[in-house]
Structure 1
Amino acid sequence: MTERATQRPAGFKKPDYWSDAPAPKPDAAKPEKDPDGLSPTRYGDWVKDGIAIDF
């Protein structure tokens, strides 16, 4: 097994756009009202004219 590098190679200079700040926490999910009934993202199917359409 190859050992994992724990330090950057000598001479490495991080780009100016890199930040040491931690990534921001995502916003909480907001429930959306589904005007046609069940949400396909929750159940996996769209129902159109009585036919289930699965992507």
Structure 2
Amino acid sequence: MTNPTPRATQRPANFTPPEHWTNDPAPAPQPIVQGEDPDGLDPTRFGDWEKNGIAIDF
């Protein structure tokens, strides 16, 4: 592929955005709050659950 198709950089002139579209900036991420875990298992540590030393997914 020597000449890839160029990407559109502007919307067509007749495009009207829906009313629910906004230009508000994205909210800042909030820090993770660790909660109490009675079993001592933390599924957010690696994104998996760990049981008997083995990480398992659902």
Gaps of 5+ in 2: none
Which is helix-richer, 1 or 2? Answer: 1
How far did 1:53 drift? 7.6
Identical counterparts, % of pairs: 45
Q: So what's the TM-score if we normalise by structure 2? A: 0.64
Q: From 35, 38, 43, give the equivalent of 2:38.
A: 35
Please identify runs of 4+ aligned residues in structure 1 that moved more than 6 A: none
Amino acid at match of 1:25: A
How far did 1:10 drift? 1.7
User: Equivalent residue for 1:12?
Assistant: 15
Gaps of 5+ in 1: none
Count of residue correspondences:
51
User: Equivalent residue for 2:56?
Assistant: 54
